[in-house]
Structure 1
């Protein structure tokens, strides 16, 4: 990890997305004794992807708790611990396993604070490794963040950079409400500058303009931010200047930032890895057309994953999600080039 000064004067280090998550967990556990971790193999083994490595040595088994293969217990136990005053951060090995704990996530976490008139808080973070990772198969590779958007009471974070992976996770841990934190498995080794300050937070509901532009707005999350930026580089050579917006959170969604961009560029494309039908791209398209219809010079385009189970073959897997080439072709089609 390399140290340097940011433009604001604060110290930054270059680190991987996965390492940034590990640091966020450690910093919050040092800051607040109520924070503890729970999940399968997160202790001595450091988690299936190694993101909790070293934490049991610093904080001990009472705060880094290994569990059985039981997602229902992991999330249900977190809900109970939160009711008793703790701040649990739980890891499901793959986001797909959220369906095993569906009652605990979509009923207990999402609804109990409302159902009890706000008499207690539910500060639970559920870490959900999401997306394709090179042949993990249809039951271990889905992008299901849209399902979480549909259930009131849950916040949804979708970090795309190491800095946001750290800042959003720290914000999630400090939130009094349940947060589903979708961390992309294919980004764990991606490196970027991350502020060193233990007070560094990324607020929810504040989109990031990853690249400014004037001709087309592309909204993308997770792995697709990197691909949208690569497509923008290629389109710039053809005179099309793309503004890439990374929402960072889907609940709350910074629709104001997206609308402001569309009012400038007059065209919108949403790129996501999840299946096309009823994906969050459709929701963003609907909200923009409700709020900025007369600013649009073309229909809103969606470039999304195919409506098929994800293949286990790594080549076919990539064919099932948006590529840089596909984003470029779609952008040219928006301009009828």
Structure 2
């Protein structure tokens, strides 16, 4: 007699964490050096402020700070070891190697599998899909997934179309192997891309394409560039289509969605997206007014802050969707789990890693 099939393994969210740099940059502060105003920025983007890192602070620093918070939330005792670290980022510490091994080392997780995901603002959703696949295949049991960005390092300070939009931040979740039917189980997914739109969201310089072109980089090639009007409509169209697809796969009706958690690109995009999908705007979780567009960090940061604000309750149905450079897009769903312990607000000072904490304890 054939052996019964092994039970399905799902990736279950069991912890969250986030980190914002302490330096808050208001619209008025940017208006002092740019031809812009608080009213102009708020009207077009919904952003009132963003956070930038100080010199010497890296993407891995932000990622490790958020990761430490998520690990402590998922397992305060520190007994359950994470075997995989995934970092979604557009702004790695170096072109080579990846940032994830550095983050793992800073958290005392050397030896864990560690790699980066590069899908710009869709990076966190792609990372969720990757972590879910690893857990389902039995290649991982417990995964730390971090979205972390230091966009201030790639913004042209003289370009008001981009420098007013983006901010630095990190958000993290811990995923464990579990039952597909339990609260916190992630999936299904809908993912897609269109490389014909590569020039709509890009940093032209620094890669093999520019280095092998036989010409020196132009001054602006090292900065992030975006075709805002074209991106607006592409973002709404692809996120709405992807959201409907994943709801169909999950067997959810639109009116069953308690919270829409879209990539925090622009408040007008988020409002138009909610309208197109048919989710009431008041069910859309947004934090863009105070943090700006934090790219791959935006969804996990929004989740952690919404949890701290008491907006998320066990059993709530969440629709997550994102759009970014590539072009890339993706969506997934989950039912919010019963996370132990009180929710806390986003810290603005890096917590000690577990290895640092143990080291300090030994010297007391």
Q: Same fold (TM over 0.5)?
A: no
Category of TM-score, reference length = shorter chain: under 0.3
Normalising by structure 2, report the TM-score. Answer: 0.26
Normalising by structure 1, report the TM-score. Answer: 0.27
